[in-house]
Amino acid sequence: MNMVEWWTRSELMPGEHDGCAASRMWRSACYALEVPDAQQLWDRIAKESPPDSLWHSLRNCVAYQAGVWQNLLIKGVGDVTQPGPFKMALVLRHTPTDVAVELMAEMLKENPEAVDLTNYVVTLLTDDVSSCGGCLARAEIESSSSGSDSTSSEDSEPAVPQRDLQIFGDLELAVLSASREEYDAHAKLVRAEYSKLTQKNYVELRIKILNQLIQVPKLYQSPELECFEALARENIDREILTLREHLLTGQHD
């Protein structure tokens, strides 16, 4: 799956790296939510977000997920119920927790009428269905909107439809089904995130995580991404074999 064409267009915002779709997504989301000072908010996100030398960065992780979703839309997949807030959640997913919480609180303060759309974003970021770890803490993000009338009864409509939650979570795992070249590049960036670990410790931890992942009966929950399943498992199996070889040979790269 080649997603380069979509996110290497010109028309970049200040602070956006060439080849990054994250700010374009942010701009679209802010327009949908009628958020003022979108550029100022983006500057904070870009400043506080991880560097491009790591996987969970705006350019790498967020832009990749954006490309996957855009390709599916081009192929005729139906969009989510709230495209703008959905894109905002994709960006905030990999924004430092404290920054994301502050941004959500500020946006709600500036536009109290957008509480339903804000709840949509919060639910995507905190619901177990779409949560894959390393993201916003439920208690922290929920506390940011505790001053609003965002609570709902059990009989009320859910803030986010189940399909949207499933797609959001599946996009987090979309890179597992990437081409061999893209997957290997992703694996190297993940390794960089754990640079403080020795190679042996990292390999053992990574194998453990991948083994747990491969035992999940169904990686992708939405019908739209279930076609990624076979290739994802193939990539995971291949990485496990490579890592085991590293342990046997004592490789340090």
Q: Which helix (H) or strand (E) holds 101?
A: helix 97-110
Give the 3-state secondary structure of residue 60.
Answer: helix
- 191 versus 99: the higher-pLDDT residue is 191
Are 7 and 19 in contact by the 8 Å Cβ rule? The answer is yes
**Among the listed residues 54, 114, 113, the one whose alpha carbon sits nearest the alpha carbon of residue 88:** 114
CA distances from 94 to 51, 60, 158, 201, 243 (A): 11, 10, 24, 25, 26
pLDDT tens string 201-249: 999 999 999 999 999 999 999 999 999 999 999 999 999 999 999 888 8
Task: Give the pLDDT confidence score for residue 204 in this predicted structure.
Answer: 94
pLDDT(15) > 50: no
CA distances from 23 to 41, 60, 226, 239 (A): 10, 13, 28, 32
Q: Supply the DSSP symbol for 16.
A: P
- 13 versus 136: the higher-pLDDT residue is 13
pLDDT(7) > 50: no
In this predicted structure, which of 1-15, 25-39, 235-249 has the lowest mean pLDDT? 1-15
> What is the pLDDT averaged over residues 22-51?
82
pLDDT tens string 55-104: 988 888 888 888 888 889 989 999 999 988 898 899 888 888 888 888 88
pTM listed for this prediction: 0.79
Q: For residue 4, what pLDDT band results from cuts at 50, 70 and 90?
A: very low
CA distances from 100 to 25, 58, 73, 150 (A): 15, 13, 27, 18
pLDDT tens string 113-140: 778 888 888 899 888 666 543 332 233 3
- 155 versus 59: the higher-pLDDT residue is 59
